[in-house]
Amino acid sequence: MSMSIGGSRVALAVPPRRTLLEALRYDLDLVGTKQGCDKGDCGACTVIVDGTAVLSCLTLALEADGKEVRTVETLAGAPHIDPLLDCFDSVGGGQCGFCTPGMLMTTTALLDKRPCPTRDEIKLAISGNLCRCTGYGRIVDAVELAAKIKRGEAKGGEGLPGMECSPPPLPSNTKGAREGKGG
């Protein structure tokens, strides 16, 4: 199978029952995607496949064959760090951070489809993502701020969006065979 991750086409051999979560974490070393409950209850494993947020623990790797997969690592891609990352940090949307990759991917998919979400829409979007630390309020604040920054209606603070960044280490694909950039 092959999939595109952060603009890189990655090919790998997987057994039929390998989940997308296992392929990302254990075949491609993309450990930003978290393995929480491993049964569809917590949302920590959320990634985006062809524009839709999915639970990678309930998705077979083969279901992503030929598709574009976005993991939390892709949010740090050049030329800009996604505002969501800095907003979660600056607003206090994460504490232990375990839920954060899933929250980031769920809300990335939301903001891609709805650039101007209401607080209720943000709450509904993250209703499948469990957080044991923050109480959710700061997470919703962070998503609201990121949405405003993306729309050009707010500026980030120190170290916030628009900062140039280095290309991320994506993906290492140590067991697969990399086919090169672009598609």
Which three-class secondary structure state does DSSP give residue 181? strand
Is 133 near ligand FES (CB under 6 A)? yes
Measured from the CB atom, the residue of 8 and 95 that comes closer to ligand FES is: 95
Which three-class secondary structure state does DSSP give residue 142? helix
Measured from the CB atom, the residue of 59 and 155 that comes closer to ligand FES is: 59
Looking at 24, 53, 105, 131, which residue binds ligand FES (CB under 6 A)?
131
Please report, as residue ranges, which positions from 9 to 38 form the binding site for ligand FES (by CB under 6 A): 35-38
Task: Compute the distance between CA of residue 98 and CA of residue 132 in angstroms, rounded to an integer.
Answer: 9
User: Which residues 6+ apart lie within 8 Å of 164 measured at CB?
Assistant: 78, 79, 80
Task: Compute the distance between CA of residue 22 and CA of residue 36 in angstroms, rounded to an integer.
Answer: 12
Minimum gap (Å) between residue 140 Cβ and ligand FES: 13
Site residues (vs ligand FES, CB under 6 A): 35-38, 40-45, 55, 57, 94-100, 131-134
